[in-house]
Chains A and B, each alone.
Chain A
């Protein structure tokens, strides 16, 4: 009964994140891909995404702040990659902000890029917190299920 309650709480939480626009349907697709052969799939993808995205954000920041004349082509490619991985996870807000950042890169607008990077950094912090709660709930559910078997 308790695991059913946690499962319901988990589903409700994901729905809430979708309603907030933090995640989209793609995250549900990842949850559906998780199976007995890979029971930690979602947690692994989340961890991989958080690590990879942190590195990308740091690199974008360095390209915009430490270099006199940013290479906007290289920046655009990096942001495109970040957009792609965000979309694959279902990180809707971040993927959207990456689209906007790409537009600034393509128009070589440094100040616009800096502003959008700041928005991405804020959105990323929010996403990390939300995903941490999801992982915690999922771990509780698995622990309950293990105790019952």
Chain B
């Protein structure tokens, strides 16, 4: 095995890029490049055709009105308005600038709930003023055109509606948040049956309401949170069932999901207070990994000065 391997010269690089003798660029002549590029053009053309074809076929099998699977999106998430960074609401009572963004967020979100937005009877349905059973509006297709949507009055949110108090209580150090249940097509939330619910929730129980309850995250913080006011339809701290199920973007483009405003009227200032709001229901799940599923956590840090 004694073979001295001839070392290839480094000077071949230039020749490789452009070989003037053979008129080769990167080892191929023009004709050769043309042939191989044509081959790849056809090859990738065919592949792309097959790809687009399969995607089209796949899309054919999927309804526009109803998702094929809801493996990940249900059970739905519980979210709050205003949308906050790091789930923290931090402001100073004396400085309107510091809570401006929250007020802005609430204003923007609640605009859809103004009564002038809900004028059209073609789109909106006047549902019962008190919690009621699900309203089924037929199959998930557009055979009967668009589906109607229940009205939801902004006034029901009372102190947190922003009508009387345009700062949603932030000016007084009594911040409001609006709670909503994420839209999931065809999802019918089931109110809880079991008796193991917290006493506060049981107190205002209604069979057509999905109850929401906010309390201190940690037991020892309970007194820091103080009283919590809930403003919802007919004074119920929850979501009435007649707004469900949701029929999707195409059938209910103006869908208004039921809201619940929560106001913390006596939060301890100058300290971090962690509050957890939880939705109770039979088909509501919670997850350690997804902390917005069926509940959420928010941290208040209000500076008194």
Say if A and B assemble together: no
A residues near B, CB below 8 A?
none
